[in-house]
Amino acid sequence: CVVDHTQPLPTIGKPLANTRVYILDAQGQPVPIGVTGELHIGGAGVARGYLHRPDLTADRFIADPFSADPAARLYKTGDLARWQPDGSIDYLGRNDFQIKVRGFRIEAGEIESRLLRCPGVQEAVVIAREDSPGDTRLVAYLCATPPATLTPASLRQQLAASLADYMIPSAFVMLDTLPLTPNGKLDRQALPAPDQAAFATRDYEAPQGDIESTLAALWQDLLGLDRVGRHDRFFALGGHSLLAVQLLNRLDKAGISVPLATLFAHPTLCDLAAAISGLTHAAQSTLPVVDRTQPLPLSFAQQRLWFLAQLDPAASQAYHLPAALRLSGRLDRLALTAALDGLMARHESLRTRFTSLDGQPAQQISPDTLGFSLACHDLRELDASARALRVSEMAEQEARAPFDLTQGPLIRGQLLQLDDDTHVLLLTQHHIISDGWSIGILARELAALYQAALDGSEANLPPLPVQYADYAVWQRQWLQGETLDNLRDYWRHQLESAPALLTLPTDRPRPAVQRYAGDQVPFHLDTGQLHRLHTLSQQQGTTLFMTLLAAWSVVLSRLSGQDDIVIGTPVANRPRQELEGMVGFFVNTLALRTEPGRCHSVAELLDQVRERALDAYAHQALPFEQVVEVLQPVRNLSYSPLFQVMLSLNNTPTQALTLPDLELSVVERPLNRTHFDLSLSLIETENGLDGGLIYATDLFERDTIIRVVGYVENILMAMADDVMQPLNSLPMLPEAERQQVLVDFNATEADFPRETLIQQQFEAQAEQAPEAIAVLFEDQHLTYRELNRRANQLAHHLLSLGVKPDDRVALCVERSPEMMVGLLGILKAGAAYVPMDPAYPAERLAYMLDDAAPVALLTQSARVASLSSTLPTVLLDTPDSTDYPDSNPVVQGLNATHLAYVIYTSGSTGKPKGVMVAHRNVLHLATGLKTLLALEHPSRIALNASIVFDASVKNWIQLLSGHTLVLVPDAIRADAHQLWRYFNRHAVNLFDCTPVQLQWLLDAGLGTDPAYQPAQVLIGGEAISPEVWSRLLALSDTRFINVYGPTECTVDATACVVDHTQPLPTIGKPLANTRVYILDAQGQPVPIGVTG
């Protein structure tokens, strides 16, 4: 990626020539644009594998399922990335650095990117530390931009605006510089443990009163603090959910019962002290019909809604059931009012309000004479457009206006008259008194009562033997003892190890508090598609709902990368006949757990889903609220407990409302409320399967949900095609998106010299411009003629020692012109060079010599003793080779598939691995970089990296294009100011550096020195921060290019020019002849925006 104003934030750009890049999900499917997946690289640059490591080679170099060439392979980089719409790639860090804290899978890179956007933050790293056994906490390490001062409190406050509570670090450690390894990368092992100053606190004010003092003592003990003030927040001091549970247990021992939600609602010491009176269940009655003069308890479901209303009024508004009906024809307003009054008199739930007696909620039923208050509005004087707008506004206001649960009634309505024969009836109920089944009852009985009012007769409606209050008491009486224990044991066993949060890739950070704002994208399968699903269900012994559940779990698993999925679904929960005609809040919610990762085929998944769904139905009597109580999940106000995704297939009995002399139609209104992240709501109709995917607009863009709807449809139809096919082969991506991520993003084919050797291209340059300067080092230089002559002599020397194609020759020299003589001489002899740093410990050098098994060693006189090698040795600083011919050697049988070098990786996660790279790979890289850089001729290229790192290859291969290679002395490589002066002195046009080195050079003069600026800078090795990316966007004299690539794919696979088309960092797009795939764990491409 060239750093310019089209990329205002870091990216690794696009694939180089002859490089293919794929971003795949855990199933090996391409991810959609914007979705995170694992980066896979194919094309001419992919190495053969690891030397002497067939097991690791088989694991990382996999068959390329997207290539027609059966020998083609992909390299699994282990890096997380996502496509941008223009084909550039955002680099999101290593898979290795995913953090799991208290059941939450956390992308440290997302927290780091948020920190880097905070004013004054120059560098940021987030890790998980377990400084005390079992107590894992997030810790952030930061370096400030002088003269800024950072404080834990201010950083926490800024992060709280965009991150969920569980993603906010417990501690913020300020450092002057981040510790680095010898090769310039972050040394995570050297990061210090946080001290007490690293935890965010507020101004201290001593606790007041006995309760605050008791709480303060408990907090100090649990959190390991010397003191706690009355305005301190439990979670800001380093508390988390596990500690919160311990706190509540200690309070319970002290005789103070506090629900976990109370601690979340009142996180400061003084607020919690004021709220610890606690809640207990209402007394139970043993009678099926209860005395209405006594306090009436709420059902468990009602109590949950009541509690939510106390905790968060916005949550209560999310539980409204609005309806709007257009009535065309002759309406008898008096008959309608009488019918509504009749409903109120017939159903106690419609006359129920909820009060608090001694701190406990209770039902209070108003007399049956209460009647229905129908507000009437005459809109006939408005013109048609104004009238339509007014109806829409009033419908929205009616649906959103809050109910007062303590006052009631909790059903209300308005009648809008549009003209003499057209009315709109707006009805709204609170869910605490009604549900979907109840709406059908109300429609049926309203029609009967309206007809009776017109006729002047009594409606023929059966008497209700019991009312909802009786049910509430019966439920509490029945759910006890062995029955209750068995139900609780079942749900505990089913869900106790389930994940707390389904970590779907979101377009926006999850708000700290759920706001319930929602929207909907339509879903439709035609009758033919629905018939296929019914056939599949019948063949597999499942219901349509179970088949839908299986498909939905596959989609969610692919999007989240999780194999353990919990999905909520509503059940009618009317187990007794006398309850079937009653209006009330009976519906229960089941948490259905599926594990697609345990199933090989579609049939196996359907079997699993059927078994688990049937078990759940058999245990549906336990209210969801009790399930939550049994499991005691981590409570978080930003998402719902146990599950965040729903599936509902509406099969409740429905009753179309029909009134004499009137045509009724539903007035559609936009859905703008949701309780969950995603909710797939479906119903069978005469047109097929209809419904919508409801989504939280705080989290998702509409375009994302449109794609998800397509994924569900594709998975369903793929399941119907063949139930024996492997789950991981189900194609989720629509053909257009699959084409985009597999083919369009990898349209990188370009010609390059596939059969040419590296030395042949160099020799052509030596013949074309023999007196041009090839190598500069301080005050020394070699022309192309001199470099070619000396390399030829060395090659003939090596050939005399018996060196042949694919042999390895070790190269262990100080940085000097002889280093390049040695490198080219080895290649000209047909062997592969194995670079070794003289500064390495003796143990590492010995390991490399043993592992690479070289046939010869090239070094310098001063290094011989320390290497202790018995290999044939050639000293490059002596005239050992001067007696050999200086003609270009011809090595029989040598071709472009033979090895050019074996470079060892850093070994940070184990023993160093020798990566074998052939001539063809190197020339592929040279072609891709030549197209990307378009250097003026001749240019001066700095060789800054050590030759033991593959980054050096991209520099010395510029000799193949006739440029001058400027060797940087080891003594100045770590001193930015000396390095900058050296670049200036030698008029370097292009250099390569890591983001850390780039930061140093920016401070030393890059972008600001009027005397000198390079034409281009390549940045690679690690992720670049948004802050540095922004600084680069402001520089116009130098073209910055962010490159990405593992050693195993020949240095660079993608590139991005830093410009304003990319406001945030990305690794760009595949280089020429490189294919990049982001795959899931099953080798399937992940969708756009999904991690792979």
State the pLDDT at residue 241.
45
State the pLDDT at residue 253.
56
Q: Any idea what DSSP says for residue 882?
A: T
* Cα separation, 898 vs 803, whole angstroms: 13
Answer yes or no: is pLDDT of 851 > 70: yes
pTM: 0.66
* Max CA distance (Å), the chain: 125
Answer yes or no: is pLDDT of 905 > 90: no
Mean pLDDT of the chain: 88
| pLDDT tens string 560-616 | 999 999 999 998 887 776 888 899 999 999 999 999 989 999 999 999 998 898 888
- b/e sequence 1017-1048, b meaning 16+ C-beta within 10 Å: bbbbbebbbbbbbbbbbebeebbbbbbbbbbb
CB 472 within 8 A of CB 304: no
State the pLDDT at residue 165.
63
Q: Give the burial class of 167: count Cβ atoms within 10 A of its Cβ; 0-12 exposed, 13-18 middle, 19 or more buried.
A: buried
Better-scored residue on pLDDT, 173 or 279: 173
Residue 128, strand partner residues: 138
Tokens coding 778: 């301080």
* Cα separation, 763 vs 942, whole angstroms: 21
Give the residue among 785, 794, 842, 787 at the shortest CA–CA distance from 816. Answer: 787
Answer yes or no: is pLDDT of 254 > 70: no
CB atoms within 10 A of CB 49: 20
CB 367 within 8 A of CB 464: no
Tokens 């159903």 found at: 347
Q: Any idea what DSSP says for residue 191?
A: P
Give the residue among 893, 622, 861, 895 at the shortest CA–CA distance from 755. Answer: 895
| H helices present in 508-644, as ranges | 527-540, 544-560, 602-618, 624-631
Better-scored residue on pLDDT, 387 or 245: 387
Tokens coding 201: 């606190």
Band (pLDDT 50/70/90 cuts) for residue 164 is low
Answer yes or no: is pLDDT of 461 > 80: yes
Answer yes or no: is pLDDT of 456 > 70: yes
* Cα separation, 1020 vs 1056, whole angstroms: 11
- 210, 711, 843 from 866: Cα distances, Å: 72, 61, 11
State the pLDDT at residue 285.
37
Give the residue among 461, 390, 468, 381 at the shortest CA–CA distance from 426. Answer: 390
Tokens coding 7: 């990329």
State the pLDDT at residue 615.
86
1063-1078 and 37-43 strand pairing: antiparallel
Tokens coding 380: 């006939």
Answer yes or no: is pLDDT of 227 > 60: yes
Poorest-confidence range of 45-49, 100-104, 666-670? 100-104
Better-scored residue on pLDDT, 916 or 667: 916
Answer yes or no: is pLDDT of 552 > 90: yes
Answer yes or no: is pLDDT of 324 > 60: yes
State the pLDDT at residue 603.
93
Task: Please tell me which of 67-76, 760-769, 837-846 the model is most confident about, judged by mean pLDDT.
Answer: 760-769
| pLDDT tens string 372-418 | 999 999 999 999 999 999 999 999 899 889 999 999 899 999 999 99
* Cα separation, 115 vs 152, whole angstroms: 11
Band (pLDDT 50/70/90 cuts) for residue 278 is very low
* Cα separation, 218 vs 240, whole angstroms: 14
CB atoms within 10 A of CB 907: 11
Band (pLDDT 50/70/90 cuts) for residue 348 is very high
Tokens coding 775: 């190598």
| pLDDT tens string 484-499 | 999 999 999 999 999 9
Q: Show the 3-state SS of 1042-1088.
A: EEECCHHHCCCCEEEECCECCEEEEEEEEEEEEEEEEECECCEECCE
State the pLDDT at residue 652.
67
* Cα separation, 1004 vs 998, whole angstroms: 10
State the pLDDT at residue 210.
77
Band (pLDDT 50/70/90 cuts) for residue 961 is very high
Residue type, 212: E
Answer yes or no: is pLDDT of 48 > 80: yes
Torsion of CA 659, 665, 670, 676, to 10 degrees: 60
Question: For residue 796, what are the contacts with CB-CB under 8 A and spacing of at least 6?
Answer: 829, 881, 884, 885, 889
State the pLDDT at residue 283.
31
Band (pLDDT 50/70/90 cuts) for residue 945 is very high
State the pLDDT at residue 503.
92
3-state secondary structure of 769: coil
CB 823 within 8 A of CB 857: no
Within 687-831, strands assigned E span 688-696, 773-777, 780-783, 808-812
The verdict on whether omega for the bond into residue 409 sits within 30 degrees of 0, i.e. cis, is: yes
| pLDDT tens string 606-645 | 999 988 988 888 888 899 988 999 999 888 888 999 999 9
State the pLDDT at residue 236.
61
| pLDDT tens string 114-137 | 898 899 999 999 998 877 766 678
Answer yes or no: is pLDDT of 478 > 90: no
Answer yes or no: is pLDDT of 978 > 70: yes
Q: Give the burial class of 70: count Cβ atoms within 10 A of its Cβ; 0-12 exposed, 13-18 middle, 19 or more buried.
A: exposed
| pLDDT tens string 787-832 | 999 999 999 999 999 999 999 999 999 999 999 999 999 999 999 9
State the pLDDT at residue 246.
65
Tokens 């550096």 found at: 993
The whole-number average pLDDT for the span 891-914 is: 88
Band (pLDDT 50/70/90 cuts) for residue 280 is very low
Give the residue among 764, 762, 825, 760 at the shortest CA–CA distance from 792. Answer: 825
Domains in the chain (CATH in brackets) are 11-94 (2.30.38.10), 99-175 (3.30.300.30), 210-277 (1.10.1200.10), 298-371+399-464 (3.30.559.10), 479-653+667-732 (3.30.559.30), 758-1070 (3.40.50.12780)
State the pLDDT at residue 801.
96
Answer yes or no: is pLDDT of 81 > 90: no
Poorest-confidence range of 151-165, 532-546, 561-575, 914-928? 151-165
